[in-house]
Amino acid sequence: MRALIVDDSRYIRNYLRSLLEARGFECLEAENGQLALAAIHGCDVALVDVNMPVMGGLECVRAMRSNPELSALRIMMVTTEADHTFIEAALEAGADEYLMKPFDADALVDKLQMIGIP
């Protein structure tokens, strides 16, 4: 499986990469939504932060969902935004699930399984 990690924090990208690679994922990274759109093709899942420069996560998710070629893509928002309005906005934009930072490996695996990613 291929995962795209989209976050402006190098620390978070590295942390997610280590967790995903331990589960056998091939990982790609992007530090904003614009770079993510260029890298997403061929990925099975995208883990997307909300707050990023250039193009934020919600705009990125909307763009991914508007592309018919990405219809099978599973998208999980991974963010510190805990307000219910952000969760609703992420789901309305097309995210399949929402993971709150900070999180551990078990929480990530649980959320991946919830969206059908083994």
Range of the domain at 102: 2-114
For 3-46, how does the pLDDT look when each residue is reduced to its tens digit (9 = 90+)? 999 999 999 999 999 999 999 999 999 999 999 999 999 999 99
Q: What CA–CA distances, in Å, run from 48 to 40, 52, 57, 101? A: 11, 10, 6, 12
The answer to whether 77 touches 61, Cβ cutoff 8 Å, is yes
For 50-64, how does the pLDDT look when each residue is reduced to its tens digit (9 = 90+)? 989 999 999 999 999
Q: How many domains does the chain have?
A: 1
The answer to whether 32 touches 79, Cβ cutoff 8 Å, is no
| CATH code: domain of residue 46 | 3.40.50.2300
Mean pLDDT along residues 86-96: 94
Read off the pTM. 0.94
pLDDT at 118: 84
